[in-house]
């Protein structure tokens, strides 16, 4: 069963929604216009229940099948937020807002899930209930977590959840997925080294924080190189180094360094946190200073569940002929929180030969719409088949 014909018919309409969202990007939880548009469309499609304000600006729609006797309830999730990037595509529907852009394709994700919701509301060819989930703040705000914290899973009795992301560099409409850990945990650290500032010509009277922090930057690289099992994935990147004085002739009192840690397991995450603290405290003590280390745990590892991954891959094969094994991704994904609460799977759909996500020239490829929508619809129809 290839792409559903109905989505070829609906492609122009779904494309128009996508471009409208693209032109009006909203960041983090500020998805007011987008959320209102989503709720309005769901209303128009005849969804059985529409609730706004879940996870602040998230929207939930409920579609019951011809029968719901099976008692099954599946959640389908799309993200709605844009990024603080100034668009450089030159498209006629480019962002109208400076420094805001749909550079991760969440405009496409929202439009495709709306397309699936329209189809499922028309046909209702399943035995069970579909909950369509539109979340804000995927890009760093934890909107998915906030929707879960608002009791979404329990309120609608969601038993399984599915998610999808477009993927530049993959053939348009082709799919890739993997079981288990898939996207990395994304943590940050913020360290302030304190010494004794003074005249740069009299280092003997100071405790030089610049030298201290520079040693720490190098030593932090040994977490990946010397502490971690080489077959495990871990990234420790220092991304900011700031001295409290900018003068040529002053040894600064303080140096602040910041960075990110990406890991694929709890063991590596714990290792990073422990070793960052040990290294920074040890080095600062060696030089007679102090280190104040803050380690912030961000999104957890996003791990697909085995049975749902196998099912999702089968559906993808039916829609587009094949489904590849996806590589590990060291980026983060807020859908991790939903997969911690319920079994489910997250799949990649090809975006063709486009600029990478988070690039100012990126654009979602509307040619992926029929495959993406078909995958959503088939997930529902095959997971909750009608009796005949
Ligand atoms: Zn992104
Ligand atoms: Zn994204």
Q: How far apart are CA 275 and CA 272, in angstroms?
A: 5
Q: 212 near 289, Cβ under 8 Å?
A: yes
What's the pLDDT at 387?
86
Q: Where in the chain is the domain with CATH 3.30.70.360?
A: 185-296
What's the pLDDT at 1?
52
Tell me, in angstroms, the distance from the centre of ligand 1 to residue 186's CA. Answer: 13
Tell me, in angstroms, the distance from the centre of ligand 2 to residue 106's CA. Answer: 6
pLDDT digits (tens, 9 = 90+) for 55-103: 999 999 999 999 999 999 999 999 999 999 999 999 999 999 999 999 9
pLDDT digits (tens, 9 = 90+) for 99-130: 999 999 999 999 999 999 999 999 999 999 99
Q: What is the number of alpha carbons within 13 Å of residue 277 lying toward its C-beta?
A: 8
Is domain 5-182+301-383 annotated with CATH 3.40.630.10? yes
Phi-psi region at 53: left, alpha or beta (left = phi > 0; alpha = psi -120 to 50): left
Q: What is the mean pLDDT of the chain?
A: 97
Say what percent of the chain tops pLDDT 90. 98
Q: In what order do the strands lie in the sheet with 185-194?
A: 234-243, 254-263, 185-194, 290-296
CATH number of 185-296: 3.30.70.360
Tell me, in angstroms, the distance from the centre of ligand 2 to residue 119's CA. Answer: 24
Closest ligand to the CA of 167: 2
Tell me, in angstroms, the distance from the centre of ligand 1 to residue 358's CA. Answer: 6
pLDDT digits (tens, 9 = 90+) for 275-303: 999 999 999 999 999 999 999 999 999 99
Does residue 2 have a pLDDT over 80? no
pLDDT digits (tens, 9 = 90+) for 153-199: 999 999 999 999 999 999 999 999 999 999 999 999 999 999 999 99
What's the pLDDT at 4?
80
Say what percent of the chain tops pLDDT 70. 99
Q: What is the number of alpha carbons within 13 Å of residue 104 lying toward its C-beta?
A: 25
Helices 306-320 and 369-383: crossing angle, nearest 10°?
Answer: 130
Does residue 388 have a pLDDT over 70? no
Closest ligand to the CA of 166: 2
Active site residues: 81, 138
Tokens 């804000």, located at residue: 136
- Sign of the Cα torsion 106, 111, 112, 113 reads positive
Name the band, by pLDDT with cuts 50, 70 and 90, for residue 3: confident
**Ligand 2 is an ion; residues with CB less than 5 A from it:** 104
Closest ligand to the CA of 144: 2
Phi, psi of 65 (to 5 degrees): -75, 180
Q: How far apart are CA 55 and CA 137, in angstroms?
A: 9
Tell me, in angstroms, the distance from the centre of ligand 2 to residue 191's CA. Answer: 29
Tell me, in angstroms, the distance from the centre of ligand 1 to residue 208's CA. Answer: 39
């Amino acid at each position: 069963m290839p792409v559903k014909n109905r989505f070829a018919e609906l492609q122009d309409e779904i494309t128009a929604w996508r471009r409208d969202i693209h032109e009006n990007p909203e960041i983090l939880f500020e998805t007011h216009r987008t959320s209102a548009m989503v709720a309005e469309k769901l209303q128009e499609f005849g969804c059985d229940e529409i609730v706004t304000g879940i996870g602040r600006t998230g929207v939930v729609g409920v579609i019951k099948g011809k029968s719901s006797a099976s008692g099954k309830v599946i959640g389908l999730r799309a993200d709605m937020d844009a990024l603080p990037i100034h668009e450089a595509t030159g498209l006629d529907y480019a962002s109208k807002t400076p420094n805001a852009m749909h550079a991760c394709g969440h405009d496409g994700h929202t439009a495709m899930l709306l397309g699936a919701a329209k189809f499922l509301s028309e046909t209702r060819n399943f035995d069970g209930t579909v909950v369509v989930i539109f979340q804000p703040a995927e890009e760093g705000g934890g909107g998915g977590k906030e929707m879960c914290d608002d009791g979404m899973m329990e309120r609608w009795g969601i038993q399984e959840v599915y998610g999808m992301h477009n993927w530049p560099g993959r053939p348009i409409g082709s799919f890739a997925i993997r079981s288990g850990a898939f996207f990395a945990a994304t943590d940050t650290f913020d360290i302030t080294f304190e010494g004794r500032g003074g005249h740069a010509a009299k280092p003997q009277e100071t405790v030089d924080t610049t030298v201290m922090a520079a040693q720490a930057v190098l030593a932090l690289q040994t977490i990946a190189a010397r502490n971690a099992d080489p077959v495990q994935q871990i990234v420790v990147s220092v991304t900011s180094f700031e001295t409290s004085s900018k003068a040529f002739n002053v040894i600064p009192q303080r140096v602040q360094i910041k960075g990110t840690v990406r890991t694929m397991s709890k063991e590596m995450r714990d290792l990073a946190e422990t070793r960052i603290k040990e290294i920074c405290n040890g080095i600062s003590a060696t030089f007679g200073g102090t280190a104040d280390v803050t380690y912030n745990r961000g999104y957890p590892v996003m791990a697909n569940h085995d049975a749902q991954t196998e099912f999702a891959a089968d559906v993808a094969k039916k829609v587009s002929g094949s489904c590849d094994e996806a590589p590990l991704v060291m980026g983060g994904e807020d859908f991790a929180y939903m997969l911690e609460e319920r079994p489910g799977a997250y799949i990649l759909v090809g975006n063709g030969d486009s600029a990478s996500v988070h690039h100012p020239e990126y654009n979602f490829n509307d040619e992926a719409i029929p495959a993406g929508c078909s995958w959503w619809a088939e997930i529902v129809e095959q997971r909750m088949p009608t009796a005949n």
